[in-house]
Amino acid sequence: MEALQPYIGQITFGGLAGFVAGYALKKVGKLAALVLGLFFIGLQVMAYYGFVEIDWTRIQASVDPLLGEEQLRSAWQRLLDVLTYNAPFAGGFVAGLVWGLRRG
């Protein structure tokens, strides 16, 4: 049991750190969604009243490549690489991160 003591501490700390990071990421994501949603509404109102003209087809064509399955998987992996860089508690961190994202 004593041999496991350092690992239990790392897993516990990693899980806690992952949870708070996931919770914070979800809250920031919600804030970003709010800001982008308000921006979209503002654009639509201006387009409706003729202040601007929006080429949605062109916008969609430039955004679609960024939303492919491989690109999203790569972005998730890069995020995990950054958040667990040089951290001995990476296993607990990833589990805590997913839990924090779900709870946030």
Q: What is the pLDDT of residue 4?
A: 67
Structure-block tokens of residue 102: 């779900």
Span 8-57, pLDDT tens digits: 777 888 889 999 999 999 999 999 999 999 999 999 999 999 999 999 99
- Structural domain boundaries in the chain: 14-103
Region of residue 61 (phi > 0: left; psi between -120 and 50: alpha; otherwise: beta): alpha
**Contact, 12 vs 93, CB < 8 A?**
no
Rounded mean pLDDT, 4-9: 72
Span 58-89, pLDDT tens digits: 999 999 988 899 999 999 899 888 888 877 77
The dihedral through the CA atoms of 88, 92, 98, 102 has a sign that is: negative
